[in-house]
Amino acid sequence: MKDLNARLKQFKAAEYDVNREKYEKIVSSQNPHTLFITCSDSRIDVEKMMQADPGEIFHIRDIANIVPRERDPEEHISIVAAIEYAVQVLKVDNIVVCGHSNCGGCAALMHIEDYQAKLPHTSEWLLQSLPLRDYIRNKYSEESEAEQLVLLEKLNVFQQLVNIMTYGFVRDKVTAGTLELTGLYFNIATGIVSVYGYDPEMEDLLDRLVEDSTAG
List the Cα angle 144/150/151 in 5-degree steps: 90
**Range(s) of the chain covered by CATH 3.40.1050.10:** 31-215
Q: Average pLDDT of 151-175?
A: 95
Beta carbons within 10 angstroms of residue 59's beta carbon: 14
How many Å apart are CA 195 and CA 135, to the nearest integer?
Answer: 23
| Beta-strand pair 193-197/180-186 | antiparallel
pLDDT, residue 212, reads: 54
Alpha carbon of 106 to those of 8, 33, 85, 137: distances in Å?
33, 28, 27, 13
Average pLDDT score, the chain: 92
Residue range 151-162, pLDDT digits in tens: 999 999 999 999
At 17, the pLDDT band (50, 70, 90 cuts) reads very high
Cβ proximity of 45 and 57 under 8 Å = no
Global pTM value:
0.92
How many Å apart are CA 170 and CA 159, to the nearest integer?
Answer: 15
Cβ proximity of 141 and 55 under 8 Å = no
At 148, the pLDDT band (50, 70, 90 cuts) reads very high
Residue range 34-92, pLDDT digits in tens: 999 999 999 999 999 999 999 999 999 999 999 999 876 567 889 999 999 999 999 99
| 111: CB partners within 8 A, 6+ apart | none
Residue 103 has phi, psi (to 5 degrees) of: -75, 120
Give the bridge partners for 98, in sequence order.
38, 184
Is the domain spanning 31-215 CATH 1.10.3720.10? The answer is no
Query: Residues of 6-27 as b/e, b for ≥16 C-beta within 10 angstroms?
Result: eeeeeeeeeeeeeeeeeeeeee
